[in-house]
Amino acid sequence: MRIKEHPILKFDFSKKVQFYFEGQPMYGVEGEPIAAALHDNGVMVLRDSINLKRPRGFFCAIGHCSSCLMEVNGEPNIRVCIVPLEAGMRVNRQRGKGELR
Amino acid sequence: MIRESEMLVVGGGPAGMMAALQGLDNGIAVTLIDDGIEIGGQLIKQTHKFFGSEMEYAGTRGIELGKMLKEKLFNYDNFTYLGKTTATGYYEDGVVTAVREDKEYMKFRPRVLLIATGAAERPLAIPNCDLPGVYGAGAVQTLMNLYGVLPGKRALMIGAGNIGLIVAYQLLQAGTGVAAVVEAMPCIGGYLVHASKIRRSGVPILCSHTILDIQGSDRVERAKIVKVDDNWNPLPGTEKWLEVDLICVAVGLTPLTDLLWQAGCEMRYVSELGGEVPVRNREMQTSVPHIFVAGDAAGIEEASSAILEGGIAGLAMARYLGAPMTDSEYRENSAKYWNELENFRGGPIGRRILEGLKKVLEH
């Protein structure tokens, strides 16, 4: 969900782009972190933890905690909190460590 | 290819931006690398007005200040900004490595280096603290203040230091309910003016309280809080479940010092400054002569002090590189920043910082 009214800030949500999460089309704002767009769409679980397979979500937003590692356009271990959203991106939950190509 | 440069700044928050400006003002070519999408670090998420005086831009909101510093920086032709670039290491031959946009591997060999990497949120060690919906306070600010995304419907804030209090109020401004602010200490740690705003909005600030448990299947659904005695022991019978979908963690920060360690800078554990921090002199120079430090990486404090420390470091780095300035000019300009910093640290929170600095500041 987006903030509709704010006493101090004004947001520009006009640059809407489509992307795919687990194959499902979704919309976000171009250039915002992929994680922000997912959050707006109600996607809270971004990956499973490596050992215990526990659900992991957004946490630090500064690219440090590894909680938000996802697969983007086939590439694993992308820190979606600091990677900007582009039209047509294919974003998937990451399971395990991912594989280097 | 190794990029030889005069001044390299790692981190584009308030400290890094100010230091870069000081370098540029003195005719030095500056390269700044930052891992964020936008330059400004945590500064550009701060919607409240800063305290202090004119020199650290008090009375200005962080978001406006961030824009102002950015505009000033981009006016210089000899300023190189590399965003979405993560510094990955420091090597014995003085090379700093970085990765840009997860693609390009870069190497820098600067004559003088500023580590202004900031800090990371401390996690909470309680059951289910890894569930989606448990976020660092800075992350919540990013979602709501930068990108206009509601972080949740109803939040529990852990910690009543300045960050906890400020972010609790910002949550209310964004339209997220706040069930309570809990603080394990017997009193709040932040400024009273921030606490008052929250109380006026009807949100309880529960001191001598802590969080015990979190429940939810694949995201936060509820949290258990409890009153604690003077020795931090939970008092039986005072447990309470709160229905919340967001737990905002503001229990302190840890300086991000990886590069300083790799460079062999002398480090000391100083609890008042948030953990292991580098020994430095009044020029913000570390034990490795060409490496300087400023902002939260030097010790957890505030944006205002990061700005002033950045100014001090930037000026000293420019002099280190031989920028044309007389000794008396240098001393005069550096003293201006120091005086401001001392004024800023005059309050009760600053007293603690000063105690900590005694342990790492060498003359």
Report d(CA B82, CA B104) in Å as an integer: 11
The domains found in chain A, sorted by start residue, are: 16-92 (3.10.20.440)
Half-sphere exposure for A44 (CA within 13 Å, toward CB): 21
What is the DSSP secondary structure assignment for residue B145, as one 8-state letter?
A: I
What is the DSSP secondary structure assignment for residue B199, as one 8-state letter?
A: H
B110 shares its domain with B9: yes
Report d(CA A96, CA A76) in Å as an integer: 10
- Last residue of one domain, picked from the residues B231, B249, B267: B249
- Last residue of one domain, picked from the residues B233, B249, B265: B249
- For chain A, say whether B103 makes contact (Cβ under 8 Å): no
The C-alpha of A42 sits at a distance from chain B's nearest C-alpha, in angstroms, of 10
B160 shares its domain with B208: yes
- The tokens for B337 are 């920043």
B271 shares its domain with B234: no
* CATH number, domain containing residue B241: 3.50.50.60
The predicted structure's pLDDT at residue B273 = 97
Structural domain for B210, as ranges: 123-249
Residue B349 has pLDDT above 90, yes or no: no
B199 shares its domain with B281: no
pTM of the prediction? Answer: 0.94
Instruction: Let me know: does A63 contact A81? Beta carbons within 8 Å.
Output: yes
The predicted structure's pLDDT at residue B191 = 87
B165 shares its domain with B24: no
User: Vertex B116, ends B114 and B118: CA angle to 5°?
Assistant: 165
Neighbours of B248 (CB within 10 A): 29
Contacts for B310 with CB less than 8 Å, ≥ 6 apart:
B14, B15, B16, B17, B18, B19, B22, B116, B294, B295
* pLDDT one-digit tens code per residue, B135-183: 999 999 999 999 999 999 999 999 999 999 999 999 999 999 999 999 9
Residue B348 has pLDDT above 80, yes or no: no
| Total structural domains within chain B | 2
Mean pLDDT of chain B: 95
Q: What is the mean pLDDT of residues B319-330?
A: 95
Neighbours of B349 (CB within 10 A): 16
The predicted structure's pLDDT at residue B198 = 95
State the SS3 of B16-38.
HHHHHHHHHHCCCCEEEECCCCC
Residue B46 has pLDDT above 80, yes or no: yes
The predicted structure's pLDDT at residue B363 = 72
Whole-number percent of chain B with pLDDT over 70: 98
The predicted structure's pLDDT at residue B58 = 74
3-class DSSP state for residue B195?
Answer: helix
Mutate to test the interface with B, among A27, A45, A60 (most CBs of B within 10 A): A60
B111 shares its domain with B258: yes
Instruction: Let me know: does B107 contact B1? Beta carbons within 8 Å.
Output: yes
- Give the DSSP H or E segment for B194: helix B192-200
Of the candidates B257, B35, B12, B45, which has an alpha carbon nearest to the alpha carbon of residue B136? Answer: B45
- Last residue of one domain, picked from the residues B220, B249, B278: B249
B128 shares its domain with B244: yes
Instruction: Let me know: does A11 contact A3? Beta carbons within 8 Å.
Output: yes
Report d(CA A55, CA A44) in Å as an integer: 9
* pLDDT one-digit tens code per residue, B331-342: 999 999 999 999
Specify the residue for token string 């505009």: B71
Contacts for B320 with CB less than 8 Å, ≥ 6 apart:
B112, B285, B289, B290
- The tokens for A34 are 């992929």
Contact B136 A6 (CB under 8 A): no
The predicted structure's pLDDT at residue B135 = 97
The predicted structure's pLDDT at residue B127 = 95
3-class DSSP state for residue B95?
Answer: coil
Residue B52 has pLDDT above 70, yes or no: no
Instruction: Kindly identify which residue of chain B lies nearest to residue A31, measuring between CA atoms.
Output: B37
Greatest Cα pair distance, chain B, in angstroms, is 69
* pLDDT one-digit tens code per residue, A22-69: 999 999 999 999 999 999 999 999 999 999 999 999 999 999 999 999
ipTM: 0.96
B89 shares its domain with B139: no
Q: What is the mean pLDDT of residues B214-243?
A: 96
Residue B55 has pLDDT above 90, yes or no: no
The predicted structure's pLDDT at residue B48 = 83
B98 shares its domain with B165: no
The C-alpha of B62 sits at a distance from chain A's nearest C-alpha, in angstroms, of 12
pLDDT band at B190 (very low <50, low <70, confident <90, very high): confident
Specify the residue for token string 């109803």: B154
The predicted structure's pLDDT at residue B53 = 66
Mean pLDDT of chain A: 95
Neighbours of B125 (CB within 10 A): 7
Neighbours of B74 (CB within 10 A): 11
The beta-carbon neighbor of B148 closest among A3, A60, A82 is A3
The beta-carbon neighbor of A60 closest among B37, B132, B139 is B139
Contact B120 A60 (CB under 8 A): yes
Contacts for B298 with CB less than 8 Å, ≥ 6 apart:
B255, B273, B277, B278, B280, B284, B309
Contacts for A51 with CB less than 8 Å, ≥ 6 apart:
none
Residue B59 has pLDDT above 80, yes or no: no
Contact B219 A55 (CB under 8 A): yes
pLDDT band at B50 (very low <50, low <70, confident <90, very high): confident
B262 shares its domain with B214: no
Chain A residue numbers touching B86 (CB-CB < 8 A): 63
- For chain A, say whether B242 makes contact (Cβ under 8 Å): no
B186 shares its domain with B233: yes
Full DSSP string of B282-339: TT-B-SSTTEEE-GGGGSS--HHHHHHHHHHHHHHHHHHTT-S--HHHHHHHHHHHHH
B325 shares its domain with B294: yes
* pLDDT one-digit tens code per residue, B273-305: 999 999 999 999 999 999 999 999 999 999 999
Residue B56 has pLDDT above 70, yes or no: no
The predicted structure's pLDDT at residue B49 = 80
- For chain A, say whether B173 makes contact (Cβ under 8 Å): yes
Specify the residue for token string 């936008």: B38
Contact A82 B36 (CB under 8 A): yes
